[in-house]
Amino acid sequence: MISDSQKDKLIQLACESRHNAYAPYSNYAVGAAILMENGRMYTGVNIENSSYGLTNCAERTAVFKAVSEGERKILAVAVSTENAGSPCGACRQVLVEFAGDVPVYLVDGDGNGRETTLYQLLPDHFGPEHLGS
C-alpha cells in the first residue's frame, strides 16, 4: 500500500516527465514514473527512432533506469499520456518482471484518469514465478 502523498507525487512526476518525450513521428508523448520498494521514484519517457522498431516506451525507460541503479521491486506505476492511455503489452510484461499486482495510475496531462492494477492490465501473466521447479 502506498500513501496518498506517494501516489500524488508519482502522478505529478509522470505528467512532468511527459514534456521530455521524444515523439516526432507519432506525436504521442508518454511520461511514466515508478515507485520502488525503498521509496525512490524513477521517471521515463517514450523515445522514438526513425527506425520504428528501435523506439522505447516510457514505462520500460523508467524500469531500465531503476534496474540499472540496482533496484528490483516496483510498488506502483503512473503513466501520463494525452488521453490516459494504457501501457503496451511489452511494457506490461517488463513491469510484471519487477512487480506483483501493483496499482497502476493511467492519467492525462492534467493528472485525471483512473486506477487499475498490473494484473488487471495483464491477466494470466507469465512471470519469474512460472520458471521455478
Task: Give the separation between CA 122 and CA 34, rounded to whole angstroms.
Answer: 17
| Element at 9 (helix H, strand E) | helix 4-17
Catalytic site includes residue 59 = yes
Among left, alpha and beta (phi > 0; psi -120 to 50; other), residue 70 is left
Q: Which of 59, 69, 82, 129 is catalytic?
A: 59
Count of alpha carbons within 13 angstroms of residue 38, beta-carbon side: 8
CA angle 33, 94, 23 (to 5 degrees): 55
- Catalytic sites, residue numbers: 59
